[in-house]
Amino acid sequence: MENNPLVKPFYTPFESAPFSIIRPEHFVPALQDNIKIALDEIDEIVSQNGTPTFENTIEALENCGSFIGRNSSLLFNLNSAETSETLQNVTQQVAPLLTQFQNDVRLNTALFERIKKVYENQEVFELTIEQKTLLEKEYKGFVRNGALLDENNKAKLRSIDTELAQLSLKFGEHVLADTQAYMLQITDSKELNGLPEAVIEMAKSTAEEKKLEGWVFTLDYPSYVPFMTYAENRDLRKEMSLAFGKRGFQNNAQNNEAIVLKIIHLRQQRANLLGYESHAAFVLEERMAQSEENVKSFLDQLLEKAYPAASNEWQILKEYALENYSLEKVEKWDTAFLAEKIKQRDYDLDELELKVYFPLEKVLNGLFSIVEDLYGLQFKKSTQIETYHSEVDAYEVFKNSTFYALLYTDFFPRSGKRNGAWMTKFRPQKKGQRPHISIVCNFTRPTKKLPSLLTFQEVTTLFHEFGHALHGILANTQYSSLSGTSVYWDFVELPSQIMENWCYHPDALTRFGKHYQTDELIPEEFITKIKKVAFFHQGLQTLRQLSFGYLDLSYHSKNAPQIKNIKAHEVEQITPLQFTPDSIENCLSTSFSHIFQGGYAAGYYSYKWAEVLDADAFELFLEKGIFDSETAQAFETHILSKGGTEHPMVLYKRFRGKEPDPGALLRRAGLVKTN
């Protein structure tokens, strides 16, 4: 243990993680030791003779186990971004240890009694608003995790939580394994017809890395998405589409069907044990939406507005397919390809023409410039801060010339890194401690001939994840458990989604839209087209997101245990919202990582919910000016810096002066007429 870096503070710049000396074998013994120390600290809290107070109970508990949080964050972040079979095995060993620790704390009767006394007598303490929020969060956290159960049911809860933690990890490992097991090798250049030069170049590089001839395409997004969008060979698009859609749904060791059924049954059992009729009821009690009925009503309202628009967009797509490609039946592997052709026809805008104006380095520098104007942050790339991979960069972030945070950026797909994009933290913010934040993406990789040139969708993804990062970087709370993104789940997407709006405005676009060779600004005509294209297929895109929201909710309603066949249930739920015929080989649910691996169970609707918030909030920026310092300062003061210190609606109304208007989203999406 003496040589284990995870059992002591990091004596590094800003106490950053010393990745080069951390080994997989360090985690289990370190966390076992960390947990023992934390439990000893809790015993000290419980064994006090004095009257329970906020300071000697709630605040003392908040300060327990800081190494557990640090080391588990390190492990799970690495398992997502730079995993290996060894690290996956370690994570499987650690998951039940952490679950047991959480249960040892949450089911500690003597500890709960102290918390309960503080909670019931809080009027005698002079608590700040943040302290009251922390007290309520702790009390509810114990109750919602079984503190009021008898010993028999506490044991059942422990067993359920341990099994759920392991199943969630296994689900993600299966999806990653199936994603990486497939590749499409092309040796005939004719089969590359329609594909952009940059995509072909990237596929060539992938083939060379694998020591194969020709070109190799994978299910990683930067390879998969452009292939489905541009490849003229319909048979190959079909092959790729089916491979993507059958992840976790094949007759192999990675099949996730039984895992999905087990997860939804265990979640339902857990909710019932705690006195809730469903997992959705349990989750939504601590959300802005509050109830399953409210979520359904919200989704139904959007569906009512989106379906006519989607139906019309689909009719146009079908007519185009028949007229130009003699396709009488449009399949799911045709939609991205046809949509891109229609977009080029109607808007005279080819994504390929745009990419040359979005080299990653210039986009990132432009984003830094925008954030500096809005929030006074400066980013300085550091060579002193270690990273976990050679492609990862570290930045020291300053505000008013004072160190404010560390930011890690990890942009390209590779073996051992899961798909998608996300923000996370290696260290939270609290009083006297600044945060270490990370954004992880899977963008178009540079090649021998070209730098990383982003699609416009990748540009918006970068801004989105940076919005999450700002929520962490600008956090300024007393307690880490209320800091940054520690907010209601249907509020967490507001800071990320509002940042996407800057991608569509000339004053911002001209800061980062610069030709990778000539540094020429993106032409004004392209900016005009980008703004128009923002409305393209909004009906179909909204319908797609709604289908995910309905499907998620169905897996966590009181009727979820009646589900016997994942595929049949999925078809029943989402077919009414899809225009392409179902493919018997594919199943979305078996790779739906947001709800079976991530934290979006009974919460996928929050993407659309947050879109209402961000559309309404950004209307204030539009009214005052997108770089208006007063508005930006208000957003930082009332939203970004406050984390979860108060109810999100209170914070939002303090910023906006009113509750959010759902019409703002419909107006922005072009789903309702505006004057």
The catalytic site residues sit at 465
Which two structure tokens, joined as six digits, stand for 44?
Answer: 């000290």
Give the amino acid at 188.
Answer: D
Residue 280's alpha-carbon distances to 292, 567, 632, in angstroms, are 6, 21, 35
Q: Return d(Cα 292, Cα 271) in angstroms, integer.
A: 14
Q: Residue 128: which residues within 8 A CB-CB, separation 6 or more? A: 478
Q: Residue 211: which residues within 8 A CB-CB, separation 6 or more? A: none
Q: Residue 402: which residues within 8 A CB-CB, separation 6 or more? A: none
Q: Return d(Cα 158, Cα 154) in angstroms, integer.
A: 6
Closest CA to 164 of 22, 246, 282: 282
Taking a C-beta distance cutoff of 8 angstroms, is the pair 188, 440 a contact?
A: no
Give the amino acid at 501.
Answer: N
The DSSP result for 453-467, as a single string, is B--HHHHHHHHHHHH
Q: Residue 501: which residues within 8 A CB-CB, separation 6 or more? A: 614, 618, 621, 626
Q: Residue 152: which residues within 8 A CB-CB, separation 6 or more? A: none
Closest CA to 552 of 609, 602, 481, 493: 602
Q: Return d(Cα 494, Cα 650) in angstroms, integer.
A: 14
**Alpha-carbon dihedral sign for residues 230, 231, 234, 239:** negative
Which two structure tokens, joined as six digits, stand for 386?
Answer: 């270690």
The DSSP result for 304-369, as a single string, is HHHHHHHHHHHHHHHHHHHHHH--SS--HHHHHHHHHHHHHHHH---HHHHHTT-BHHHHHHHHHH
Question: In 382-523, where does DSSP find H-type helix?
Answer: 456-473, 494-500, 506-512
Q: Return d(Cα 301, Cα 666) in angstroms, integer.
A: 11
Beta bridge partners of 439: 409, 423
